[in-house]
Amino acid sequence: MQYRPFGNTGVNLSSLGIGGMRFPYVPDTETLDFEKGVEIIRRAFELGVNYIDTAPYYMHDQSQKLFGMALKGWRDRVYVSTKCGHNIAKPDTIRLGVEQSCETMGIDHIDFYHMWGMDWKAYEEKMGPESIAMLEKLKAEGLIRHISFSFHGPPDDMKKLCDTGIFESVLCQYNIVDRGNEGAIKYCRAKGMGTAIMGPLAGGRLGPTAQKAAQMIDEKGPSFAQRGLRFVLSNPDVCCAVSGMGSIADVEENAATASDVQTISEAEREEIYNTFYHHHALAGLYCTGCDYCRPCPAGVNIKGVFDAYNLFRVHREEQNARDACAKIADNGTICTDCAVCEGKCPQKLEVRRFLKEAHEFFVPQPKQTTKEGETV
């Protein structure tokens, strides 16, 4: 495993971190398979991964508990990152969030505590002097070691947050099909911040389901997932790529890639980028599967619908798309236009529009005949 300085924090992080959103559930339930999850996490630790990233609410409120179980016997060798709920307005809420996360994971401090989904508007509206003072107080008390933020906003906002001088690291999205933060990452790194990447494999979209794009790869060459991770880690401004890994095989493949990152020429970077982008066509419906949009008041399985719909939109696999959607009760596409999901989506997707498109695809409306006999 390679290790990289995490900005000016004095910490060396493994180039690969493990995220807290992709662990297996017990079949047909929303209960994590804790035994398998612990095996996956500890295998990552054995292979040199020393950074974990989780949050309250991940995996139906079970992610932090799982990491706490896996950390037993490993705590002194692993850096823990978690986040401050969705309500960051009040100092007491920040303290309570820290204390609850420590209790859930059975630890006495958090190494990197993130203001969750921060952008400049949230900073101005919610990060008042009292909240900042509370973070500094918690740091002085030793409950947190470093003040950080996770980010889903415009790249210029990331630069402005960096310039406040409050934050020591940032967790942001960056991968082959979403390079929008590339300049901001470089800026933050030059200013001494640690730069951790979420979604280096686009929420799993760069894996084996990319059948169309996979045709360009020599069967003996690296997988698309390997190329995607290699692309991110070849950026010198990236300190750590945090990947959600749902199996020991995922851990071992990613750890092997992270342990042998080779230099990629700019021409090769562009070739890989163009191929991925063309075949995934993710600019419009780029759902990372984060599930922040749940629960839907109408019970729509948004992630499941989008996964199925992209099989058709991106790969033109119509029958596979229909088969996937058939597994969702009532096709799972009956949106009531309440817009709750769009307020939660960190990608700012037009969720309602895409759900309408998906519904029209999966549940075509019956044709109507006018009095003149014309079909409409």
Distance CA 156, CA 96 (A): 31
The structure's pTM equals 0.78
What are the start-end ranges of the E strands in the chain? 3-5, 12-14, 16-19, 51-53, 79-83, 110-118, 144-151, 169-173, 194-198, 240-243
User: How far from 42 is each of 83, 245, 251, 354, CA to CA, in Å?
Assistant: 22, 12, 10, 39
For residue 284, the model assigns a pLDDT of: 57
For residue 309, the model assigns a pLDDT of: 79
Of 238, 223, 361, 340, nearest to 293 by C-alpha is: 340
DSSP symbols for 163-185:
HTS--SEEEEE-BTTB-TTHHHH
Tokens of residue 23, six digits: 């662990």
For residue 222, the model assigns a pLDDT of: 61
For residue 150, the model assigns a pLDDT of: 93
Q: For every one of its 376 residues, what pLDDT tens digit does the chain have, with 9 covering 90 and above?
A: 999 999 999 999 999 999 998 899 998 888 999 999 999 999 999 999 999 999 998 998 999 999 999 999 999 999 999 998 655 668 888 999 999 999 999 999 999 999 988 889 888 888 888 999 999 999 999 999 999 999 988 899 999 999 999 999 999 999 877 788 999 999 999 999 999 999 887 655 554 444 444 444 444 456 667 778 888 998 999 999 999 999 999 999 999 999 987 666 777 767 766 666 555 444 456 676 777 787 888 888 888 888 777 777 765 667 777 877 777 755 555 788 888 888 888 777 888 888 888 888 887 665 555 556 555 4
Range list for CATH 3.20.20.100 in the chain: 3-280
Distance CA 241, CA 194 (A): 11
CATH topology of domain 3-280: TIM Barrel (3.20.20)
